[in-house]
């Protein structure tokens, strides 16, 4: 099942705390959510996040994650992100509210992807993860190459490109 990127980010924040990861900066979180989505496309043949992933000059970016956590700058994220949602309660005085979305613990497949990403990349720095997303042959590089070298940041990286490039990077593709 695909979730909002903020819900996936919140799962990383919670698990990073429990693992004692103290360098979960906005850039690192961005890359972890991207890799979780990419691995889900390869391993489960389904997207993990509903949000579009853009090829910005400094790598793949999910705008909702960027805007929600940019206030942390280069410091450790300590609180979950929120989303603005409509309140279904007909008796609510205000028909909208902010919530911190979560992935249900019963979704063991998604939680195992998040755990696998933290096992593989949790000890990496934000810069190291950013460098990984910039390698030749990566989904970001393929999208940048197609659109003039990345001077514009509004190009979506299609899930099919993410899946193909990630499968190759993991040694599972042609």
List the chain domain ranges. 5-169
pLDDT at site 120: 96
Q: What is the pLDDT of residue 73?
A: 95
| Distance separating alpha carbons of residues 168 and 103, to the nearest angstrom | 28
Give me the residues paired with residue 56 across strands.
Answer: 59
Mean pLDDT, 10 residues at a time, the chain of 174 residues: 96 96 96 98 96 90 96 95 83 79 95 96 95 92 72 81 93 72
Asked if 8 and 48 count as a contact pair (C-beta separation under 8 A), the reply is yes
């Amino acid at each position: 099942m695909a979730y909002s990127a903020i819900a996936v980010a919140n799962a990383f924040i919670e698990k990073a705390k429990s693992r004692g990861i103290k360098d979960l900066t906005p850039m690192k979180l961005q890359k972890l959510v991207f890799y979780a989505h990419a691995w889900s496309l390869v391993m489960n043949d389904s997207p993990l996040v509903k949000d579009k992933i853009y090829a910005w000059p400094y790598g793949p970016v999910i705008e909702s994650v960027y805007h929600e956590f940019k206030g942390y700058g280069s410091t450790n994220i300590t609180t979950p992100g929120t989303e603005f949602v409509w309140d279904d309660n007909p008796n609510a005085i205000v028909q909208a509210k902010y919530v911190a979305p979560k992935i249900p613990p019963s979704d063991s497949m998604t939680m195992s992807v998040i755990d696998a990403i933290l096992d593989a990349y949790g000890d990496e720095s934000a810069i190291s993860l950013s460098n990984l997303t910039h390698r030749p042959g990566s989904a970001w590089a393929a999208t940048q190459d197609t659109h003039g070298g990345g001077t514009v940041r509004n190009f979506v990286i299609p899930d099919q490109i993410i899946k193909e490039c990630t499968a190759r990077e993991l040694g599972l593709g042609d």
